[in-house]
Chain A
Amino acid sequence: AQSVTQLDSHVSVSEGTPVLLRCNYSSSYSPSLFWYVQHPNKGLQLLLKYTSAATLVKGINGFEAEFKKSETSFHLTKPSAHMSDAAEYFCVVSDQLSGTYKYIFGTGTRLKVLA
């Protein structure tokens, strides 16, 4: 069975400092992994995705994530936080090989950016 664990429910960083949001996954197959962002009262926006190509994935707004199979991790990073990055971030695993295409969401990490 697939599962996703987001290790931090809340992360606070100062503006201009690096961001690290941690995600570990469990999957029986070759997983597809995603990071989504949800701003208050807004819909979900895809930040980036890993689908068995390059292990270092670049997304929008300067975010990156590295797929590490040996560590079963897919941590999200950004070199320099901006105030507009304050939001809820979800790590998602999907098993496409089995054909189900279902998303399993992590519990979310709320990122706070301090001025």
Chain B
Amino acid sequence: SAVISQKPSRDICQRGTSLTIQCQVDSQVTMMFWYRQQPGQSLTLIATANQGSEATYESGFVIDKFPISRPNLTFSTLTVSNMSPEDSSIYLCSAWRQGGATEAFFGQGTRLTVV
């Protein structure tokens, strides 16, 4: 298994500002992903964080709004830019280690409230 730490665990932000969420895995992983879980809803994949290259975004998500970095095999960041109240959600980091585990591991999530 892998342990995933996310920071911050929660934050309250003013609209128009940006927040960067950090995701640290305790071992090298092949794949890292970012999900959004809006209140009372399921998880939606935002993007796949690719090491050393631009992230791959899902339909409805764009790099200008959700820039992602992945400088190495254990770390990634997601920035929520120019926030509005509609961005209030839980953001989760996920990781997958290819060739070993066959399931993804999830961080505890970052609960973001935009006021």
Q: Which chain A residues have a beta carbon within 8 Å of chain B's beta carbons?
A: 32, 34, 42-44, 46, 49, 51, 90, 94, 96, 101-108
Contact = CB atoms under 8 A, between A and B. Distances in A.
Nearest to A90: B42
A101 B96 contact: yes
A44 B106 contact: yes
Given A32-B102, A44-B92, A101 B31 contact: yes
Contacts of A96: 102
B103 A49 contact: yes
Contacts of A51: 102
A43 B106 contact: yes
Contacts of B107: 43
- Considering residues B98, B103, B106, which has the most beta carbons from chain A within 10 angstroms of its beta carbon? B103
A107 B109 contact: no
A108 B30 CA distance: 27
A51 B107 CA distance: 23
B109 A103 contact: no
B18 interface: no
Contacts of B94: 103
Interface in B58-115: 92, 94, 96, 98, 102-104, 106-109
Given A96-B102, A108-B41, 19 more contacts: A34-B103, A42-B108, A43-B106, A43-B108, A49-B102, A51-B102, A90-B42, A90-B43, A101-B30, A101-B31, A101-B96, A101-B98, A102-B33, A102-B45, A103-B45, A104-B45, A105-B43, A106-B42, A107-B42
Interface string B30-64: 11010000000111110010000000000000000
A61 to B, nearest CB: 16
B5 to A, nearest CB: 11
A44 B35 CA distance: 12
A51 B30 CA distance: 19
A14 B103 CA distance: 31
